Amino acid sequence: MTADRSSSPDLVGPVGLSRRAQRYIEANGLRLPRRDIRRHRGAWFAQGIPAAEADRAAAFQERWGGLALPPAPCYEGGPRILDADCPERSAAGGWSFPAGDCRVSMAYGFLIGPDGAFGIDAERWTSLHASTEGWVESLALAAHARRWAESITRITGEGVDSLDLDGYEPVPEVQGLTDTWWRGKDSLIALYRGEAVGLDAPQCLEAHVYAGLDEWGLYGG
């Protein structure tokens, strides 16, 4: 599916995000026509899906459905378009629902977990961020850091565990779980552990170090 900025001329970042993330959505996002998934409620109920889970998927669709953002730095870019679908029982207990189709053929999909976390359904369910807001904040921060850093270093595999995070603090707005961001005095570090955990593949560990950042580069709103 293709679209241009005319699809969403008045796109405004959802409330509750940092100003940095709102600017990111407004400058880079597209809001495509969202599917009305409420019309499937009757069929879902017939399949034994609880009303609360149907409502949860519908609330996601209302807030995020149809939103297309630039590719993420990892996970082959993340969902192509945020888009909810039929809830299903989670292997971890409770119910999950899809967060949107992958951009390329993948060994896993993107789900919203029973507790609202944004994650991947690989060999095991793996929560990346505590919410979709956290995922979007991480995209915005990566774009911001990439623009302002003097240098960017990509580290993979065993080298990720040797990173010294002494003096760094977690970036709270990304609501990191398996994936986290860390802020130092002049650098930001993004740790991507989702594939390593979800696929039991330590070689998939990845970190991006954005160095040479000033105060604006470190925070950016």
Taking the chain (221 residues) in runs of 10, the rounded mean pLDDT of each run is 43 86 95 92 94 97 96 96 95 91 95 97 95 98 97 96 95 98 98 97 97 95 68
Identify the pLDDT of residue 10: 62
SS3 61: helix
- Domain assignment present for 208: yes
**Together in a domain, 129 and 38:** yes
Q: Which domain holds residue 156?
A: 150-219
Residue labelled with tokens 């600017």: 23
Residue labelled with tokens 């008045």: 10
74-88 burial, b if ≥16 CB within 10 A, otherwise e? bbeebbbbbbbbebe
SS3 112: strand
Instruction: Determine contact, residues 85/99, Cβ cutoff 8 Å.
Output: no
- Domain assignment present for 121: yes
- Domain assignment present for 198: yes
**Together in a domain, 14 and 83:** yes
Instruction: Determine contact, residues 125/172, Cβ cutoff 8 Å.
Output: no
Burial of 120: CB neighbours in 10 Å, binned 0-12, 13-18, 19+: buried
- Domain assignment present for 186: yes
Residue 54, C-beta contacts closer than 8 angstroms, at least 6 positions apart:
38, 40, 41, 44, 45, 87
Identify the pLDDT of residue 12: 75
The domain tally of the chain equals 2
Q: pTM of the full predicted structure?
A: 0.93
Instruction: Determine contact, residues 112/186, Cβ cutoff 8 Å.
Output: no
